[in-house]
């Protein structure tokens, strides 16, 4: 008996190629009479040459048809988007190639194409639903990275109605450079992670920290999300034009930051946890100086971490990262866009069901987390060697959303996502109102410092080490 419809061995229909986002550094636009125009350039992710044309209405309708509409209805909607009116339509190749047009992109500029699929033509070309000019001129960097884009406001502690600052930044992390700390590698790993300058610009580095249960190989999810920041050095500069001095903050050298992490005066919670790990790795006895830690319960917890690391029951992994603030125009735009609950910026906020121990029993509870997703970040270096980003776009139509707890790194830990029946839920669409614990405008390491660092970048002298 041959039951083709029911057989597990029947040939499976090949899936259509998943639409993707592609960013290219433009080389040229080739237009031939009677043929679609092609954009030729280098894919910034793969560094391979590509040629892309825009979809016609029929192709665009197939890719964009909604569940509640027919294909013919989709064609009508897509026709309005592509052809539209003189004032509103899909950017055209002739406009992108015209230096007088606002969407112009010259050679060396950056173009982003969305919902990209193969044309299946022998030349290996691609077709795209939409195109956007990220940067019209050469000299701007663009990289596909794993990032969390944060947008929000900091409110006054005494008067919650008063907004003291707003922020837009991208936390870019490098899971491919994650390190399981040991006595042999800890110092070098931290010195490398906290380097405050690269070949082009100053950096604001940080490390994400997570503890690993060595018996199960799983990330310990009872702990809060942990992020260790560099030492910031307060300085004064003279504004001679206005006759006043103002405060700026400089990121310390890596060696000074490592010393700062071990300083008893540093009572930042996540720094304390990392310090406990380092003491546990350093030898068979001794505990960190916690004389400045007021909470007896916290002191006990930290010493337990020392004992667990020393006994080999727990390991610590650091994931290096860098915070890049938005440029002024981008910041203003993102603060408006985040209020639209359907905007992709809301994809960076969500919750996961994670295992926690309650009264000795493991339960799964929802936890609000920072979401990291593959993102194209376009950035420039401004005055004072200060790096800022101008664009941040999700790199996938249906992005894989990861938190610190479920993040896959080069160390191939057992997937917390599988163990905890991971479910990333939609974020609360309400505008971010940052909590005091997360964003303390009066704390040296808070986001107010980011705002001051950004302001400092207005002067070339501000961030000179």
Kind of pairing, strands 49-54 and 126-128? Answer: parallel
Q: What percent of the chain has pLDDT over 70?
A: 85
Query: Cβ–Cβ contacts within 10 Å for residue 43, how many?
Result: 16
CATH 2.40.50 spans which residues of the chain? Answer: 20-139
For the segment 131-136, the average pLDDT, to the nearest whole number, is 96
Can you give the pLDDT at residue 186? 96
Give the model confidence (pLDDT) of 345-394 as tens digits: 999 988 888 888 788 788 888 889 999 999 999 999 988 888 999 999 99
Query: Cβ–Cβ contacts within 10 Å for residue 392, how many?
Result: 25
Can you give the pLDDT at residue 386? 86
The string of DSSP codes covering 361-429 is EEEEEEEEEE-BEEEEEEEEE-GGGBEEEEEEEESBSSPPPB-TTT---TT----HHHHTT--PEEPP-
Within 8 A by CB and 6+ apart from 117, the residues are 16, 17, 19, 20, 63, 126, 127, 128
pTM for this one? 0.82
Can you give the pLDDT at residue 384? 81
Give the model confidence (pLDDT) of 413-446 as tens digits: 654 433 333 323 333 333 333 333 333 322 223 3
Query: Which fold, 20-139?
Result: OB fold (Dihydrolipoamide Acetyltransferase, E2P) (2.40.50)
Q: Give the rounded distance of the alpha carbon of 133 from its chain centre.
A: 21
13 phi/psi in degrees, rounded to 5: -70, 135
Give the model confidence (pLDDT) of 33-46 as tens digits: 999 999 999 999 99
Confidence of residue 17 (pLDDT cuts 50, 70, 90): low
Query: Cβ–Cβ contacts within 10 Å for residue 69, how many?
Result: 14
For the segment 265-270, the average pLDDT, to the nearest whole number, is 96
CA–CA distance, 345 with 348 (Å, rounded to integer): 6
Can you give the pLDDT at residue 444? 28
Confidence of residue 451 (pLDDT cuts 50, 70, 90): very low
């Amino acid at each position: 008996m041959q039951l083709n419809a029911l057989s597990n061995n029947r040939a499976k229909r090949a899936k259509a190629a998943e639409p993707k986002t592609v960013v290219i550094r433009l080389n040229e636009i080739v237009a031939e009479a009677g043929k679609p125009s092609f954009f030729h350039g280098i894919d910034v992710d793969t560094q391979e040459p590509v040629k892309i044309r825009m979809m016609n209405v029929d192709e665009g309708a197939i890719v964009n048809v909604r569940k509640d509409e027919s294909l013919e209805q989709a064609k009508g909607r897509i026709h309005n988007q592509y052809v539209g009116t003189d004032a509103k339509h899909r950017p055209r190749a002739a406009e992108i190639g015209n230096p007088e047009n606002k969407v112009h992109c010259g050679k060396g500029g950056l173009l982003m194409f969305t919902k990209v699929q193969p044309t299946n033509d022998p030349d290996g070309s691609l077709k795209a639903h939409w195109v956007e000019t990220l940067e019209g001129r050469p000299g701007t960097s663009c990289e596909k990275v794993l990032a969390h884009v944060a947008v929000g406001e900091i409110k006054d502690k005494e008067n919650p109605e008063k907004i003291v600052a707003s922020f837009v930044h991208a936390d870019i992390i490098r899971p491919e450079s994650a390190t399981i700390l040991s006595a042999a590698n800890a110092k070098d790993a931290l010195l490398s992670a906290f380097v405050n300058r690269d070949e082009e610009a100053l950096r604001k580095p940080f490390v994400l920290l997570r503890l690993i249960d060595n018996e199960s190989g799983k990330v310990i999810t009872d702990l809060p999300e942990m992020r260790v920041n560099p030492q910031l050095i307060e300085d004064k500069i003279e504004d001679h034009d206005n006759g006043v001095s103002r405060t700026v903050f400089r990121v310390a050298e890596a060696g000074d930051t490592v010393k700062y992490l071990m300083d008893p005066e540093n009572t930042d919670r996540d720094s304390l946890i990392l310090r406990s790990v380092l003491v546990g790795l350093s030898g068979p006895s001794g505990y960190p100086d916690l004389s400045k830690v007021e909470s007896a319960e916290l002191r006990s917890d930290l010493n337990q971490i020392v004992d667990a690391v020393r006994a080999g029951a727990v390991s610590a992994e650091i994931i290096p990262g860098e915070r890049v603030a938005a440029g002024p125009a981008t910041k203003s735009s993102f603060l408006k866009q985040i209020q639209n609950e359907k905007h992709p910026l809301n994809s960076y906020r969500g919750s996961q069901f994670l295992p926690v121990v309650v009264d000795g029993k493991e339960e799964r509870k929802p936890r609000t987390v920072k979401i990291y997703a593959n993102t194209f970040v376009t950035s420039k270096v401004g005055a004072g060697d200060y790096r800022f980003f101008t664009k941040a776009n999700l790199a996938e139509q249906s992005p894989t959303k990861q938190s610190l707890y479920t993040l896959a790194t080069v160390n191939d830990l057992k997937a917390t996502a599988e163990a905890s029946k991971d479910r990333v839920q939609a974020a609360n669409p309400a505008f971010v109102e940052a909590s005091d614990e997360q964003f303390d405008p009066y704390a040296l390491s808070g986001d107010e410092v980011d705002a001051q660092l950004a302001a400092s970048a207005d002067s070339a002298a501000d961030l000179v080490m």
